[in-house]
Amino acid sequence: MKAFIQLIRWPNLLIIIATQYLMRYAILDTMLKNIYVHINSETVKVPDMDLQLSDFQFLLLVLSTVFLTAAGYVINDYFDTKTDKLNRPHRVIVGKLISRRLTMAIHLTLNGLGVALGFYLAWSIDMMFLGFVFLLVSGLLWFYSTTYKRQFLIGNLLVAFLTGLVPFMVALFEIPLLMNEYSAIMIDFDINLNHILVWIGGFSFFAFITTLIRELVKDMEDFEGDNACGRRSLPIVLGLNVSKIIVSSLILISLLALFLIVILYLNDPITLIYMIFALLLPMVFLVIWLWKANSSKAYHVASLLTKVIMLSGLTYAVLAHFIIVYQLVNMG
């Protein structure tokens, strides 16, 4: 059982669960109940709008995401055994603690559950076309492990895209239902739900770019093993120094994006303090550490630091709940 839990990367699955529930309750639900508009020089509160997915239906969405992600981890380890024996021999599970045949059976079971629950959810809300999102994710994770991971940058971008999709899935399933249910209110008050998409899209973008940074740092960490196995990762193709320049540029883009968000939209002092100490300073430290790194162990520390930054970005959703209420109540 311990080996199975390690195989499916349970801490990462907990982060996925936390991400989607925070997007649902801290962001989406909070904004739906705090919409204000200006009418005849007065600020008027729009009637509360309720989440359309039931608690059970949302649980299905979360479980489907978790099962598909776990299946992706399993199949990745299945095809990565040779490389893992070189990069991290102490963490090899497939073929050592769990047989390859059982590993494939676990993958097929988790994958099947994820796709089945996804289609059931899509059917239950009469939007069957959304079920194909889960099928697409399943296919992308399979081809990532078998093909894309060995190609230049494609695997990195794919993982980053799928990670960014995790928070956005909440909006993808809720927004169409909300627009259908509350179309009359939106017409009467001349409003839309674009501001919700912007908020959740912001978290998705942050998840995308920090995951891409971490993937590239992990490639630096695995340089020797990947090189021995003939992989075409960024550090192998362009070299470690060029890779550091690219990662530093991505971090700079993240910093500029955060700076613009704080200046233009979230210029409250609490957000400023949080951004400086939880995100900006750690990112600056990450760049400094990355340029000093010259060993697999040092790159591993950089990878862990990137994950801490990712978690800090997610945790901001809790603070955002209170900021959204304060800013919208005080509109105008």
Q: Is residue 281 part of a domain?
A: yes
Show contacts of 296-304: CB within 8 Å, 24+ apart: 296/87, 296/221, 296/222, 296/223, 296/224, 299/217, 299/218, 299/220, 299/221, 300/221, 302/217, 302/220, 302/221, 303/214, 303/217, 303/218, 303/221
Same domain for 242 and 120: no
The pLDDT value given to residue 46 = 85
Q: Is residue 63 part of a domain?
A: yes
**Domain with 264 in it:** 210-332
Do β-strands 42-45 and 36-39 pair in parallel, antiparallel, or remain unpaired? antiparallel
Tally of CA atoms within 13 A in the half-sphere of 69 that contains its CB = 22
Same domain for 247 and 146: no
pLDDT for 121-144, tens place per residue? Answer: 999 999 999 999 999 999 999 999
Same domain for 244 and 128: no
Residue reference for tokens 């005080």 = 330
Q: Report whether 40 contacts 107 (CB < 8 A).
A: no
The pLDDT value given to residue 332 = 44
The encoded tokens of residue 41 equal 């020089």
The pLDDT value given to residue 122 = 97
What's the Cα-to-Cα distance from 187 to each of 77, 180, 183, 190, 217, rounded to whole Å?
51, 12, 6, 5, 48
Dihedral angle over CA of 21, 26, 32, 35, nearest 10: -170
The encoded tokens of residue 50 equal 């309720």
CA 52 from centroid of its chain's CA atoms? 23
| 10 contacts: CB under 8 Å, gap ≥ 6 | none
Q: Report whether 115 contacts 135 (CB < 8 A).
A: yes
The encoded tokens of residue 64 equal 């489907």
Residue 48 DSSP label: P
Burial 266-300 (b: 16+ CB within 10 A, else e): beeeebeebbeebbbebbeebbeebeebeeeeebb
Q: Is residue 169 part of a domain?
A: no
Same domain for 217 and 325: yes
Residue reference for tokens 């499916």 = 8
Phi, psi of 192 (to 5 degrees): -140, 180
pLDDT for 51-67, tens place per residue? Answer: 999 999 999 999 999 99
Same domain for 225 and 120: no
Q: Which of 152, 179, 199 is the last residue of a domain?
A: 152
Same domain for 141 and 7: yes
- Going residue by residue through the chain (332 aa), what tens digit of pLDDT does each one get? 788 888 889 999 999 999 999 999 999 999 998 888 887 777 788 888 999 999 999 999 999 999 999 999 999 888 877 776 777 777 788 878 888 899 999 999 999 999 999 999 999 999 999 999 999 999 999 999 888 888 889 999 999 999 999 999 999 999 999 999 999 998 888 889 998 999 999 999 999 999 999 999 999 998 887 787 778 889 999 999 999 999 999 999 999 998 888 888 877 888 899 999 999 999 999 999 999 999 989 999 999 999 999 999 999 999 988 887 776 555 44
Same domain for 216 and 143: no
Same domain for 109 and 6: yes
